[in-house]
Structures are given as structure tokens and as C-alpha cells.
Amino acid sequence: MSELAPYAAREDNSRGRRIAEDAPSERSQFQRDRDRIVHSTAFRRLEYKTQVFVNHEGDLFRTRLTHSIEVAQIARSIARALNVNEDLAEAVSLSHDLGHTPFGHAGQDALNECMREFGGFEHNLQSLRTVDVLEERYGDFDGLNLTFETREGILKHCSLTRARELGELGRRFIERTQPTLEAQICNLADEIAYNNHDVDDGLRSGLISLEQLGEVPIFARFRLEVANLYPQIAGRRLIHETVRRMINAQVVDLVAETRRRLADAAPRSIADVRAGPILVAYSDAMRAEQLALKQFLRDQLYRHYQVLRMTAKARRIIAELFDTFLNDPRLLPPQYQTMAGEDKPRAIADYIAGMTDRYAMREHRRLFAVGEI
């Protein structure tokens, strides 16, 4: 790695860990964060959590795990191009979805609804709670005791009320300052990853077609380029050649626009980055193309009746599990009964949020299907 830019996150400008620990030997503090995330239970659960398609719907669809790995790949490329900290970008990418419920956004919306009178549920905050509190791996502390910068990157947004409760980590939402460049990069790498893999998964599932995608400017542009280069190309190869060009174009545009903004703002330190405007961004033209793609996916894929049937079922499963446990916490596994002694709804939300898709379905069957145990 060439020398980091003066405004990159580094160990020597890190705000450190909540509980002081000896410096790691042979690796950086941010590598240590990444390593702790990879070894966590919550990380392994991502393999069986839905991104858009429920895990059992097909082996080739993205899961939260493969999504997170794709985000890390994109974020690392951008971080390296901009001479900022790749290890931090990787740690944030791999942990950004740890707090997701089973069944994707439908699951989070359902759990948020269940928790409405009890402080709500938000997957971003739950990712932070997972690494700060819920993981049980160390003798000296709860959670993973990650650096401030990784935790700051995980917490992409939060309400002002929540921000006040979070102390130093919440301060930027009150003062309206920015997180590190690495966190800003992960935010957009997430978007680049899911927009493009949802096109791929959407086509694979047959829920959207190449013809429909013809109305999406960025897809049409690169599909034409591919057709001109390879007149005989069709099927999977056509889709992959098109999607990889879209990802590349978005990354290249993002790096160029961010360099331009960096040159304008001329930050000299991480403090300047935090105090300044958002620096990681697309050009206006690419932003417009991204929005058109997003809107297409929302209308044609996320609101496709077959997806909505799945999300309706997911909502019912989550709501029924929550109500059952709230009415009779004795049905919870013992460790959650102990936690429920302090805050019953939150302990139930933690239990449900930690479930994989298939675990939630199994638990629902165990509680509701006559003849099952």
C-alpha cells in the first residue's frame, strides 16, 4: 500500500477502543477489527439471511454474506484508489449488515412495527449493538470492542434521540458533521453492490427481463457496448459483461468525482474531513443514472408480486414470533429469558434479529404447527 493520504484514518489518529487493549502485533488495529468481525457468530449468520430472495429460493442468489463480501471488494478498490485506509473500509463493509433481521427489509419493517412502543428497531443500530453488546467471545468485555472508526462507519444514520443516547458516537448526527472518508466510501459501495447484484439476481429469477431493463439508461448503454463488441453474445455472458461494466463505470466515476471534491476542499487531516462537506460522491450524470436504476428496481423487482408474497409471509412470521414471546417469555430459550428480565421487548427483538431465514421459519413451525416439536 502506498503511503496513506493525510486525511485517511490511521491508527495514530484513531479515537481508539472503548476498553483499552494492548496493540496487536503483526497487524493493524483496523485489521484486528476486520478479523474479529470475520470470526463473529453474527457474521456466519449472514450466509443464511435474505438480501432480496429468501435463502431457500435458490443457491445462486446473493445472501447478506456474499453481498457484504462484494461491498468489501468495491470499498477496498475505491479506498486504495483514493489512498485511504483499505483495512478500515473492509472492516466497515463486512460488518455493515450484521444487525439485519431475517427476510431482508420486510423483516426489519415488521420488527420495527412490533417494537414501536418499545423504542423501535433499526438494522443500523442493531449492527452496532451486535458488535458492541451481543457478541459473546471475550473474557474482558461484551461485544467485539471495535475501534471508534469502525463503529462510526457501521452507524450510517440514526435519529437525534438515539444519537443523544450514544454519546461520542452519536455526536456527528447532532453536530451534522461527516464520518471518515472510509465510512463514506462504504456507504456508496453498499449501493453500487446491491443495485448491480439485484439486476443480476432479478434477471436470474426471471422476475425482470432484459427487455424491461432496456428502459434503464445505464443498463441500455452498456448492453449496447457489449453487443457491439461481441455481436454473437447472449444469455448469462451478455448479462455479466453488461453488469461488470456498470460496476466499473460507477466506481471509476465515484473515484474521479471524489478526487475532484478532495482537490476543492483540500482537507489536510481527518478532522478536516469530519468538519467538511460530504466528499465521496458520484458526478451529477452518474447520480441521475443511479437513481433511474434504483427506481426501476423498486418498481419492477422489490414490488413484484412474487417478492411481495414472500415479504407478506415474512412479516407474518416475525409478528407472530414477537407476539408469542411477548405474551409468554417462558417460551424463549433460557439465555434470552435472562435478558428479558431486564428489557423483555428488546431481548425478544435481539433474539428475532439474530435469526437466519430458515431458523425463523423453523422456530415459527415449532411454535405454531401442530404435530411439530
- State how far the Cα of 328 lies from the Cα of 326, in Å rounded to an integer: 6
Residue closer to Mg ion, measured from CB, 68 or 311: 68
Residue 191 Cβ vs Mg ion, minimum distance, rounded to whole Å: 8
Residue closer to Mg ion, measured from CB, 86 or 97: 97
Contact 96, 146 (CB under 8 A): no
**Looking at 97-105, 179-187, 232-240, 353-361, which segment touches Mg ion (CB under 5 A)?**
97-105
Residue 183 Cβ vs Mg ion, minimum distance, rounded to whole Å: 13
Q: Of residues 1-30, which lie at the interface with Mg ion (CB under 5 A)?
A: none
Residue closer to Mg ion, measured from CB, 29 or 195: 195
The residue type at 99 = G
Residue 38 Cβ vs Mg ion, minimum distance, rounded to whole Å: 17
Residue 300 Cβ vs Mg ion, minimum distance, rounded to whole Å: 20
Count of residues in contact with Mg ion, rule CB under 5 A: 2
Beta-carbon-side half-sphere exposure of residue 110 (alpha carbons within 13 Å): 24
Residue closer to Mg ion, measured from CB, 69 or 292: 69
Residue found under cell 404447527: 369
Q: Among all residues, whose Cβ is closest to Mg ion?
A: 190
Residue 105 Cβ vs Mg ion, minimum distance, rounded to whole Å: 11
**Looking at 36-44, 76-84, 91-99, 299-307, which segment touches Mg ion (CB under 5 A)?**
91-99
Contact 40, 32 (CB under 8 A): no
Residue 153 Cβ vs Mg ion, minimum distance, rounded to whole Å: 12
Q: Of residues 126-185, which lie at the interface with Mg ion (CB under 5 A)?
A: none
Nine-digit cell string for 100? 439485519
- State how far the Cα of 348 lies from the Cα of 353, in Å rounded to an integer: 8
Contact 197, 70 (CB under 8 A): yes
H helices within the chain, ranges in order?
29-38, 41-45, 64-81, 86-95, 104-114, 123-129, 148-154, 160-165, 171-175, 181-205, 210-213, 217-229, 235-265, 270-275, 284-296, 305-327, 334-340, 344-354, 357-368
Residue closer to Mg ion, measured from CB, 97 or 201: 97
- State how far the Cα of 37 lies from the Cα of 95, in Å rounded to an integer: 6
**241-246 LR contacts (CB < 8 Å, sep 24+):** 243/196, 243/199, 243/200, 246/196, 246/199, 246/218, 246/219, 246/222
Q: Mask 184-203, x = binds Mg ion (CB under 5 A)?
A: ------x-------------
Residue closer to Mg ion, measured from CB, 189 or 213: 189
Residue closer to Mg ion, measured from CB, 199 or 332: 199
Residue closer to Mg ion, measured from CB, 97 or 253: 97
**Given 97, 132, 191, 257, the residue binding Mg ion (CB under 5 A):** 97
Residue 79 Cβ vs Mg ion, minimum distance, rounded to whole Å: 17
Residue 96 Cβ vs Mg ion, minimum distance, rounded to whole Å: 5
Residue 111 Cβ vs Mg ion, minimum distance, rounded to whole Å: 17
Residue closer to Mg ion, measured from CB, 14 or 93: 93
**Looking at 93-101, 120-128, 200-208, 277-285, which segment touches Mg ion (CB under 5 A)?**
93-101
**265-270 LR contacts (CB < 8 Å, sep 24+):** 267/6, 267/7, 268/6, 268/7, 269/6, 269/7, 269/13, 270/7, 270/8, 270/9, 270/10, 270/13, 270/180
Residues near Mg ion, by CB under 5 A? 97, 190
